[in-house]
Amino acid sequence: MSQPVEVDVVIVGGGLAGLSAARRLDRAGVEWLLVEGSDRLGGRVATEIFDGWRMDRGFQVLNTAYPRLPALVDVDALEMRYLTSGVLVRRAGGLHRLENPLREPLATPQTLLSGIGSLTDRLKFAALATRCATTPAERLLDAPETTTQQMLREAGLSHRIIEEVLRPFFSGVFGDRSLDTSSHVTAMALRSFTRGRIGVPAAGMAALPAAVAGPLPFPQLLIGARTLSIGSGMVVTEGGEIHCRAVIVATDPVSAADLLPQLPKPDMCGLTTFYFGTDQAPIDEPILLLDGDRREIIANTVVISNAAPEYAPEGRSLIAATVVGVSAPSSASEAVIRVELTRMYGTPTDDWELLNVVSLPNALPAARVPQSTLRKPVSFGDGLFVAGDHRDSPSIQGALAGGWRTAGKVLTTLGTRVGV
């Protein structure tokens, strides 16, 4: 398509934040244009399909409790495939289960006798998760901020359950083994995990940005046009200059800081996902498996095709194993991962086919203490705005809500009614 030379708002970046911002601007009747440098929409949310396999760009899940989600997509139309609530933990040669206290209340006796931590630990964790789920979000965010580790200790949890269950769980969520993530971020994550269900769309996680973009007029989505620079009232792409009244930078956090020097470049957390194919699933249940033996190699693993058969060719199974940090594909790293998966699943992995290794050095913005607020300023003056999970929470919810919030700020600045 030809590139317009003047619009009200230019959105740079076609990830979830940019698409969410476009939805709000479009609803308000503002003339906008979204410019995406790659050949697709979705940003860090993507799915690769080959030979009957569907592999997301790193192991990702969608949580139905995200507040902004139902306002932007029809969740039922995504044909969600859900994981079992709770987690399994491999510890000392055994498999132990920890249930979601709100989603599986009748399983509580099984949870209390599961062998993970003490009875006191399990009761206190259930109390913490329930409190996060039932307390209004504003009150959770008004609580004194501390690290996740301190938050868990203040809840009365023992060193054992923190190290054997919660550290591996949260390291996979936030890409950070230190447990230095803000207690505000962790409380909100616990709130979502406890209140909602997690799963993947049948067609892969790429179905989410496709659904957010669905109602948008295609001619206003300029794909494959790399942005070279931005300034007050102007965006310069490889195709020329676009003049505008406001610019929303909705790229990934690192690229955003490159385009907008006054924006602090955030620390980023890396994750690596190893995808294996096998003829026989090592377990039948679609449940997250954690390493409770404190080996700190694999954060979590799941037979994703147990939840979503569409992710694998008929008669085969897809296994995802997530490692904190960036691990370049090599025979050495693959061998280590196979050894760990053999121990965690209790079955040989020699005949598993390594399908792909997805290394994401910038998977998530770090949210370590101190976080002055989860909703950071998005206006940088001269008609320049920023949207993304690095200005909100490091999550899909943060990207969707962040784009919506930034678009509202733009509408206010332009003097447009924002109650849309």
Residue with tokens 């997250």: 288
Residue with tokens 């954690």: 290
CA distances to 166, 251, 289, 356 from 322, in Å: 15, 24, 11, 12
CB 383 within 8 A of CB 413: yes
Q: Which residues of the chain have pLDDT under 50?
A: 1, 106-107, 109, 112-113
Predicted confidence at residue 394, as pLDDT, reads 93
Q: Which helix (H) or strand (E) holds 87?
A: strand 87-91
CB 98 within 8 A of CB 111: yes
CB 36 within 8 A of CB 14: yes
CA distance 128 to 193: 12
- How confident is the model over 380-418, as pLDDT tens digits? 999 999 999 999 999 999 999 999 999 999 999 998 765
Maximum C-alpha span of the chain: 66
CA distance 199 to 417: 36
Peptide bond into 370 cis (omega under 30): yes
Predicted confidence at residue 106, as pLDDT, reads 46
CA distance 346 to 370: 41
Of 76, 62, 85, the C-alpha closest to 16 is 62
For every residue of 320-371, DSSP letters joined together read EEEEES-----HHHHHHHHHHHHHHHTS--TT-EEEEEEEEEEEEE--BSP-
Of 165, 57, 172, 55, the C-alpha closest to 115 is 165
Q: What's the predicted TM-score (pTM) here?
A: 0.93
Of 270, 282, 271, the C-alpha closest to 318 is 282
Give strand ranges (E) for 340-414.
353-365, 384-386
CA distance 25 to 29: 6
